[in-house]
């Protein structure tokens, strides 16, 4: 199905105008999601999201300022591999604690939030300046003048680790989350919806992070 058909049905033209085709069908293979130590990840625990291959790929995910806001509400991946970023928590809507499998609908939030926003929950918004659908936090009030989108995140197996996927509520439309360098002085790469290469990542339980770093240095 062409994305344009979905747009007309959902009235989300500003968001999906960036995509010519629906790039993804979720895999039928289901398995429990594990961290870098092969331990299952659970809702409520805290994890760092880092590249599956360390080095030039950069560091962990964090929050940063972008050109259209005075509050750090945009999710970035730090350029430096030594930066661990901010820990996140996963939540299965309507279920607690639950088990996280590949394909499980999830909400994601940072364990800490800026004082200038009411929520650290991940959302997708359209940055009009760079014309891309990006990952941020909060809600419409935190992204004035930008279109925001409701949906859930999923984890899928990918290359050397996993990838994150965003699925639009009430539809079968799911898009990979990749990375984009806006080249405008930001302190990291944007996480954005993409039909190209996804962000190949792994999860590190927050209390284990220092031990992992020492083992690879």
Q: What is the pLDDT of residue 7?
A: 33
Q: What is the overall mean pLDDT for the chain?
A: 84
Q: What is the pLDDT of residue 11?
A: 38
The larger pLDDT score, comparing residue 137 to residue 11, is at 137
Instruction: List pLDDT tens digits, range 29-82.
Output: 899 999 999 999 999 999 999 999 988 889 999 999 987 788 999 999 999 999
Q: How many helices (H) and strands (E) does the chain have?
A: 3, 13
Q: What is the pLDDT of residue 209?
A: 64
By the 8 A CB rule, do 139 and 159 touch? Answer: no
Nearest-angstrom CA–CA distance, 23 and 2: 10
Closest CA to 45 of 108, 88, 100: 88
Domains of the chain: 45-216 (2.80.10.50)
Nearest-angstrom CA–CA distance, 91 and 119: 14
Highest mean pLDDT among 6-10, 201-205, 211-215: 201-205
Nearest-angstrom CA–CA distance, 29 and 113: 34
Q: What is the pLDDT of residue 211?
A: 57
Q: What percent of the chain has pLDDT over 70?
A: 82
pTM over 0.95: no
Q: What is the pLDDT of residue 25?
A: 43
Mean pLDDT is lowest, of 110-124, 126-140, 149-163, 201-215, for: 201-215
Q: Return the H-helix or E-strand segment holding 201.
A: strand 201-205
Give mean pLDDT, residues 113-142: 93
Give mean pLDDT, residues 4-11: 34
Q: What is the pLDDT of residue 56?
A: 82
Q: Cis peptide leading into 47, omega within 30 of 0?
A: no
Q: How many CB atoms are closer than 10 A to CB 187?
A: 16
Task: Please check the confidence at residue 20 and state whether its pLDDT lies above 50.
Answer: no
Q: Could you say which DSSP state residue 141 is in? A: G
Q: What is the pLDDT of residue 182?
A: 86
The larger pLDDT score, comparing residue 97 to residue 16, is at 97
Q: What is the pLDDT of residue 152?
A: 96
């Amino acid at each position: 199905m062409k994305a344009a058909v979905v747009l007309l049905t959902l009235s989300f033209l500003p968001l999906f105008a960036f995509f010519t085709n629906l790039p993804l069908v979720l895999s039928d293979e289901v398995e429990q999601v594990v961290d870098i130590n092969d331990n299952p990840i659970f809702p409520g625990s805290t994890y760092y999201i880092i590249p599956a291959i360390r080095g030039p790929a950069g560091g962990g995910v964090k929050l940063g300022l972008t050109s259209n806001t005075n509050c750090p509400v945009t999710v970035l991946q730090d350029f430096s591999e030594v930066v661990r970023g901010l820990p996140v928590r996963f939540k299965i809507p309507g279920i607690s604690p639950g088990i996280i499998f590949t394909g499980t609908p999830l909400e994601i939030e940072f364990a800490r939030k800026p004082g200038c926003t009411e929520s650290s929950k991940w959302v997708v918004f359209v940055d009009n300046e760079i014309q891309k659908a990006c990952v941020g936090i909060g809600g419409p009030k935190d992204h004035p003048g930008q279109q925001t989108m409701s949906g859930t995140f999923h984890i899928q197996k990918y290359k050397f680790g996993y990838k994150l996927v965003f699925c639009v509520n009430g539809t079968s439309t799911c898009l990979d989350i990749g990375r984009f360098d806006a080249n405008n002085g930001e302190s990291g790469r944007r996480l954005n919806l993409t039909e190209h290469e996804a962000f190949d990542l792994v999860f590190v339980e927050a209390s284990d992070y220092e031990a992992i770093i020492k083992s690879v240095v």
